[in-house]
Amino acid sequence: MSILVDRSSRVLVQGITGNEGSFHTQQMIEYGTQVVAGVTPGKGGQLFEEKIPIFNTVKEAVAETKANVSIIFVPPVFAPDAIYEAAQAGIKTVVCISEGIPAMDMIKVYDYLKNIGTHLIGPNCPGIISPGKCKVGIMPGFIHNEGTVGIISRSGTLTYEAVDQVTRQGLGQSTCIGIGGDPVIGTRFIDALKLFKEDPETELVVLIGEIGGTAEEEAAAWIKENFNKPVVAFIAGQTAPPGRRMGHAGAIISGGKGTAAEKMKALENAGITVCKSPAEIGKTVAGILK
C-alpha cells in the first residue's frame, strides 16, 4: 500500500510538450511510472517520444487511456484552467507543479474542488512519490527507498534532505508528498495525515513545516485527537525575521503569528517528537522504528 499513487496509477501529463513537462515526463518514465497520455491543446494526434499519445483535451485522454492521475506543468496563468479541466474529466488525483498562481484564482479552485472529491496536490510543489511504485513529480527518484515512513512537507529540497536521511538509516518511505509553499493549497497536512492513518504500510509520519500560517498548529491538534502512529516533525525558519517573506509566498511571520517557536510548541504539546536540527530527522525516525 501507499497513498494516492501506486503501481495502478495511470498518469497523464498536462503540458507534456513544454520544456519542463517533456523533461520530467522522461524522468518519470525512467522511474517506472506508467505515463499513459499527454495533453497539449493543438497537438492532439501526435506522439511524445514516439510512444505516448498526445490529446487536445483531458476528456479525450481519459476516455482513450483510462488515465486516473494528472500532473500539470503549464505556466501559472493557465494552471487554474488545467486543474478545472482535469477535475471535470473525472481525475481524482491532480498534481500541480506550476509556481506563481495568483491566490485569488486558487481560492476559487479550492472551493470548486472541495465538493467534487478531487485531491489536488500543490500548486508550487515537487509532487508525490510512492517509492518503487510510482513517481508523479520532479523529485530525484534515486534518493528514495521503498519502506514504511510517510513524509509530508511544505518544501522541496528540504524534503529531499529528509528523504535522504531516512534512506541512509537503511529505512524507506511509503509515500512522500510535497504539499507546496503557497498560501492556498489543495492538500493540507491534515488531508494527507487522514490518508496515512488508513494506510497499513505507513508506520510513522515525518511532518516538515515552515514558518507562516497555522497549518502545523492545526495538524498538531488533529494528531492529538485522531492519529495513533508516531510523528516526527521539523519546522524550518527558527531564525527567520518577522515580516519578511522567505521565498515561499506562504512563509512569512506576520503580526507575531506563524513563528517556528509557536509551531514547535504546539507539536510538542500534541506528543509529537520535534527535531530542533534539520540534521536529526533521519536519526530520530530510526530511533523510534528500530
Which residues make up the interface to another protein (CB under 8 A)? Answer: 23-24, 27, 76-77, 100-104, 106-108, 110-111, 138-140, 142-143, 153-161, 164, 181, 183-184, 208, 210-211, 213-215, 218, 234, 236-241, 243-244, 246-251, 255-257, 260, 276-279
Nearest distance from C-beta of residue 4 to another protein, angstroms: 20
Is 144 noted as a catalytic residue in this protein? no
* Nearer Cβ to another protein (162/195): 162
Which of 24, 119, 144, 248 does the annotation list as catalytic?
Answer: 248
Q: In the complex with another protein, which residue's Cβ is closer, 81 or 164?
A: 164
Q: Which is nearer to another protein, 5 or 240 (CB)?
A: 240
Question: Least distance from C-beta 126 to another protein, angstroms?
Answer: 8
Provide the minimum distance between the beta carbon of 79 and another protein in the complex, in angstroms, as a whole number: 11
Compare residues 9 and 165 and give the one whose CB is closer to another protein.
Answer: 165
Nearer to another protein, 150 or 282 (CB): 282
Least spacing, CB of residue 152 vs another protein, in Å: 13
Does 41 sit behind a cis peptide bond, omega within 30 degrees of 0 on the bond before it? no
Smallest CA-to-CA distance from 197 within 221, 223, 178 is with 223
Minimum CB separation from another protein for residue 204, in Å?
20
Burial of 47 (0-12, 13-18, 19+ CB in 10 A): exposed
Active site residues: 248
